[in-house]
Amino acid sequence: MGARAVCGQDFQELEAPTFGNLLRRLRDNRGVSRERLAFNAGVSASYITHLEKGDRGNPTREVVTALTRYLDRLVPLSTADRRQLDDLAGLGAGDFPSVAELRRAVTPEMTRTLELHNPNMAALMDTRSNLLATNDAWKDAFPGLSEHGNMLRWFFGNELATKVMVNWESDARLIARWMRALIGRSGNADGFADLIRELGEFPNFRYAWSEGGVAFAPHVFTLHMRNPVTGARRRAFAQTGRIDGASYPGQLLTILGLPG
């Protein structure tokens, strides 16, 4: 059951971000036809149609540059949208390792390091927010998390999340934008399809995802939290980093919650 019901809203089937659907959104927002965009970018209208439908492979750098140059001339592109177009046009990164494979890659030394950070929060997770290992402080900060095994499922699917996260609604919109950027940067939209479908069972995620938009998460961000029992508030600075020396370089993330 979702953390917040959304009444009177009808949503289309959720889509992972692709080069084609982002291009279509940017074109529609500028009120420009496929024919006009194609003419100014030096390609055919049928090619634009194929790109938007995902019927063609990734466009070349020259094509992406021509498309963004014309779209930017009509209405300036944001830095985030420009980068997202470049990311989504990149070559696929291949299949993701399974959660079981990643958990096996967590060494005893990594686990001991998490415990050394007590009483501050510390966790290891993959790029799709599956928890691989945490210390006790992390478990205490996010009650009910062990039932989900994934930070996003907990955030959008557990009622306690709305009590723990002080700015839950604004955080939900920001997380959806961060997800779009992460998927583009990974070069593997298909690898996130199952997660998006699963999160789509929660009305609050569907609402946040339907707003569109993209933002790139900083390496350090602020968490405003409360104890759901006592109501006491606290602030923590979440610091993220990728582990490149592991069995699956770049697939394991460390997150440390330092007192604010």
My answer on whether 83 and 104 are in the same domain is no
Contacts of 87 (CB under 8 A, 6+ apart): 181, 184, 185, 187
* Radius of gyration for the chain, computed over Cα atoms and rounded to the nearest angstrom: 20
Residue 154: CB atoms within 10 A of its CB come to 22
Q: So what's the pLDDT on residue 94?
A: 58
Please give the chain's pLDDT, 260 residues, in tens.
Answer: 444 445 555 556 788 899 999 999 999 999 999 999 999 999 999 999 999 998 877 899 899 999 999 999 999 999 889 889 988 987 445 578 899 999 999 999 999 999 999 999 999 999 999 999 999 999 999 999 987 899 999 999 999 999 999 999 999 999 999 999 999 888 788 889 999 999 999 999 999 999 989 999 999 999 999 999 999 999 999 999 988 766 787 889 999 999 98
Tokens of 131: 């928890």
CATH no. for residue 36?
A: 1.10.260.40
My answer on whether 137 and 35 are in the same domain is no
Is the bond leading into 119 cis (omega within 30 degrees of zero)? yes
My answer on whether 165 and 233 are in the same domain is yes
| 3-class secondary-structure state, position 33 | coil
My answer on whether 77 and 143 are in the same domain is no
Q: So what's the pLDDT on residue 159?
A: 94
Does 228 map to a domain? yes
My answer on whether 105 and 233 are in the same domain is yes
Does 6 map to a domain? no
Domain, as residue range, for 181: 99-259
My answer on whether 103 and 73 are in the same domain is no
Q: Whole-angstrom Cα distance, residue 246 to residue 105? A: 7
Domain count, the chain: 2
What own/partner pairs with CB < 8 Å and gap ≥ 24 does 21-26 have? 21/52, 22/81, 22/84, 22/85, 22/88, 23/48, 23/51, 23/52, 23/67, 23/85, 24/52, 25/212, 26/71, 26/77, 26/81, 26/85
My answer on whether 159 and 243 are in the same domain is yes
Contacts of 7 (CB under 8 A, 6+ apart): none
Q: How many helices (H) and strands (E) does the chain have?
A: 13, 5
My answer on whether 107 and 210 are in the same domain is yes
Secondary structure letter of residue 98 according to DSSP: P
My answer on whether 139 and 74 are in the same domain is no
Q: So what's the pLDDT on residue 246?
A: 62
My answer on whether 194 and 145 are in the same domain is yes
Does 60 map to a domain? yes
Contacts of 23 (CB under 8 A, 6+ apart): 48, 51, 52, 67, 85
Strand order, beta sheet including 252-259 = 131-134, 121-126, 252-259, 233-243, 220-226
Q: So what's the pLDDT on residue 56?
A: 79
Place of tokens 């494979």: 101
